[in-house]
Amino acid sequence: MVEYFASSSASLIEKGLFIMLVGIAGVFSVLIVFFLLIKLLERVFPVKAEEEQSCEE
């Protein structure tokens, strides 16, 4: 598919639409991965008792 949009037969508007589609999907995909990463990290590294204590202080 990329070959078609990279070719001269695709118009500039088609290329712009392709960038829009892939761009928005790409940003969402990466940020979804970051969302899952945050959730995972919080499970793997929960707040330690001493950290909680220091926060309360």
Partner 1 sequence: MEDLFIGFTSITIWNVIMYIIGGMLIYLAIKKDYEPMLLLPIGFGAILVNIPLASVLSYEGKPGVLQTLFEAGIATELFPVLIFIAIGAMIDFTPLFKNPIMIFFGAAAQFGIFATILAALFLGQYVPWLNIDLKVASAIGIIGAADGPTAIFVANKFARNLLGPISVAAYSYMSLVPIIQPPVIKALTTKQERMIKMEYHEEKVSKTVKIVFPVVVTIIAGIVAPISVPLVGLLMFGNLIRESGVLERLSSTAQNELANLVTILLGITIGSTMTAEKFLTPATLLILAMGLAAFVFDTAGGVLFAKLLNLFLKKKINPMLGAAGISAFPMSARVIQKMAAKEDPTNFILMQAVSANVSGQLGSIIAGGIVLALVPLLVR
For residues 5 and 14, is the Cβ–Cβ distance under 8 A? yes
Q: By rule CB under 8 A, what count of residues binds partner 1?
A: 37
CA distance 26 to 18: 12
Site for partner 1 in 1-57 (CB under 8 A): 2, 5-6, 10, 12-13, 15-20, 22-24, 26-35, 37-39, 41-42, 45-48, 51-52, 55
Q: In this structure, what DSSP letter does residue 10 have?
A: S
Using DSSP's 3-state secondary structure scheme, residue 45 falls into coil
Interaction site with partner 1 (CB under 8 A): 2, 5-6, 10, 12-13, 15-20, 22-24, 26-35, 37-39, 41-42, 45-48, 51-52, 55
